[in-house]
Every structure is written in C-alpha cells, then in structure tokens.
Chain A
C-alpha cells in the first residue's frame, strides 16, 4: 500500500469533511486571511512583515503562472466533485509554506509549519493533489520566502544607505 493511498483512507476520519470545507471557496479565503493576519501580528519587525507579505504575493503569482506553464491535471480530474484548474504545483501548499517560513526564528514557526503540513496533506487526502504536487508547492513556498527575505534585505540596506547619505548632506 502506497503512502498516497494510505492518506486517501484518512478521508473517512470523523471531522475531515468539516476541515476540508475550509479548503475551498470563501471559507478558504477566510481561513487563509486569519492565518496570514496572525503571522503578520506575531512578526514585530517591519522588515519581517514586509518579507511575509512579499513572500505571499510571490507564492500567489508564481503558483498561478507555474500551473499554467505545467498544465498538469489533478488526480481527481473527470470526477464530478473535482475542483477546477490545474494541479501542479499545489497553491495551497505554496501559500501556507510561504506564510510559515518567514516565522523561522520564532517559537511560532512550529505551529505555522504544522498548519502548512496539515493543509498540504489534506489536499492529498481529498484527492485533489498528488504527493509531487504538494511537495512542489512546499518547495515553491520555501523559495518564495527566501527570495522575499533576500529582496527585503537588499531594499532595507539600500534604504538605510540613502537615509545615511541624506543625514550626512543635512
């Protein structure tokens, strides 16, 4: 029995369908907004907040573009209950890892990472994504946060340099 088919079996667990209702439509947007807002509030530094927001924006843009580029159908394609759109990479996975990674260095990181892992695995349990699709999403979320952190760091350094020069000229 493969890991993926074992995960599909978890769909029978009580409470899974209720949890899964958070993963689509307006409820998903609300769930995502709450998690993102919680991360934003927890991060106190302005640069960390900027990195979080940039990481989320990058994850949204890149996961959408990559879905169109790879055009890989979902494993549930053809069945009536399958959601629309391509499956590779998992945008849910990318988004929640893009939120979790900027929390690195705080004790909250474990909680956000757990949420990201549960969200990603729930997509496989539901049958709307395969394991490679959620792993690709996870890797994308990680890369987005690394790029965001890097860009914010460069921008911050440039801003500090400009301010320093301005201060000198006064």
Chain B
C-alpha cells in the first residue's frame, strides 16, 4: 500500500474515533479503544515473536511500514488518542486535537512527499516546509470544527513544529502530549 492510502487510513481512524465517542458515549468508547489497544499490543507481540495470523499478516502487509516492531505506528496512535481523551478534561478540546492530528499528519505526509528537494526543514531533513504548512492549514481547519478559531490556529502552528522536531518519540505520541502541556500552560 502506498503512503497516500496509509495516510487516508490515518485520517479515517481519527474521524471514526471521534464518531465512536460521540455515538456510544465517553466511558464506553474508552472501554472499546482500550480493548482494541490491548488486543493490538498482544497481536504485535505475537508477530514480533515470529507468530503468524493470516488476517494480521494481511493487515500489516496492507497498512504497516517496514518497522522493527509490527504496527508500532498504530499502537502509538491509539495510545495518543487514549491520552488526549482522558487527560484533556474537555471533550471539545480532545476532539479538536484528534481532528488536528488526523488531518494535519495525513496531509503533511501527502504534501511533504511531493516536495523533497530544496524544501527540507533545516532542523529535520525528513520533513519539508510544504508538509509543515499543510499540517498547519489542514490541522487548524479540522480543529476549528471543535475549537475557537484562534485556539485552533495556535495549536495548529505549535503542534506542527512539535511534529517536525527530530526527537526520539513517535509524533503520534509527542503531538497529543505537547497539546496537553500547552493547554495546561495556557490555562485553558
């Protein structure tokens, strides 16, 4: 599966997560997400130990990048969603950040992969200016559905910078953690 399709799945997962919380309620959604997260961890561990499960192998072939730990990105994404839902203390804020990350990250990758030469960020050679701009524009627009305009833009800009930082922490985790710290810092 190419990177564009993978990012479409990334975007869809964020939208589905918001819809599940909206339709089944906060606590039930947390139980569902936690169960999926734990099952995912067990399957990833089983794969890492050399086990074979037909549907998991097909899923990984279709969606996973070639990484040392199977489905690592999906696990970090799920943990990030659980973090933001439980620690945000405001469902609108949690939805805003999930939407921001779902749209921002997906479009940043899609746009960024089309502008490689000459557009790279000085602090991270794997990221580009157009990708970062796409994160800000689409992420802020998605967050604006749930958050006031100024707040959506501020979070869009700062989280886009966080997403590009070359730190040894997956952006699916660093972005929600940074959003929570920023929210506390701003006293929101």
* Residues of A that sit less than 8 Å from B by CB: 2-4, 66, 69-70, 89, 104-107, 109-110, 113, 117, 130-132, 135-136, 138-140, 142-143, 146-147, 150, 153-154
Contacts and interface: CB of A to CB of B under 8 A. Distances in A.
Interface residues of B, number: 29
Contact of B38 (A66, A113, A143): A113
Interface of B: 26-28, 30-31, 33-34, 38, 41-42, 44-45, 48-49, 69, 76, 79, 82-83, 85-87, 89, 168-170, 173, 177, 184
Contacts of B26: 132
A89 B86 contact: yes
A136 B83 CA distance: 6
B27 A132 contact: yes
Contacts of A130: 27
| Of listed B27, B85, B170, residue having the most chain A CB within 10 A | B27
A59 B73 CA distance: 22
Contacts of A117: 38
B45 A138 contact: no
Given A146-B169, A147-B169, A153-B168, A3 B83 contact: no
Contacts of B177: 143
Contacts of B169: 146-147, 150
A105 B49 CA distance: 6
Contacts of B49: 105-107
Given A105-B69, A139-B82, A153-B168, 14 more contacts: A3-B31, A4-B27, A69-B184, A70-B89, A105-B49, A113-B41, A117-B38, A131-B31, A135-B30, A136-B83, A139-B86, A143-B83, A143-B173, A147-B169
A14 B34 CA distance: 27
Contacts of B173: 143, 146
A130 B86 CA distance: 11
Given A3-B28, A136-B87, A139-B83, A150 B168 contact: yes
Nearest to A141: B79
B128 to A, nearest CB: 24
B86 A104 contact: no
A66 B89 CA distance: 13
